[in-house]
Amino acid sequence: MDIQYLMKQAKKLEKAMADAREKLSELSVDAESGGGLVKVQLNGKCEVTKLSIDPKAVDPAEVAMLEDLVSAAINAAVEKARTAADAHMAQATGGIKIPGLG
C-alpha cells in the first residue's frame, strides 16, 4: 500500500469537502405552510434567507395560529435543506460516509 498515494487522496477529499461546505450557502430550498400563507427560504446551512407572510395570515386574534404556521414552514424548509446538504456533501465525498458529516 502506497502511503503517499493515500495521503494525496486524503488531501484531495479534504479539499473537496471544504469546497462543498462553502457552496452550501449557495443551495436554496423553499417551503410553505397554511396553503402558502407563510413561505420560508433557507440556504444549505439551514439559515433563513427569506420569510414571507401573507397579510391574510395576520390577525391579532390568531397570533398562535400564525406562530404555528411559521414554525411549520421553517421546519419543512430545514428538512429540505438538510436533505439537499446531505446530497451535496455525498456528491463531494463520492458517497463515502464520513463520521460527523451526516
Q: Which CATH architecture fits 3-92?
A: 2-Layer Sandwich (3.30)
Highest mean pLDDT among 19-23, 24-28, 33-37, 83-87: 33-37
Angle between helices 3-23 and 63-92 (to 10 degrees): 150
When pLDDT is averaged across residues 15-41 and rounded to a whole number, the result is 86
DSSP β-bridge partners for residue 32: 39
Q: What is the pTM of this model?
A: 0.63
When pLDDT is averaged across residues 47-76 and rounded to a whole number, the result is 89
Q: What is the pLDDT of residue 8?
A: 87
Residue 21, judged by CB atoms within 10 A of its CB (0-12, 13-18, 19+), counts as middle
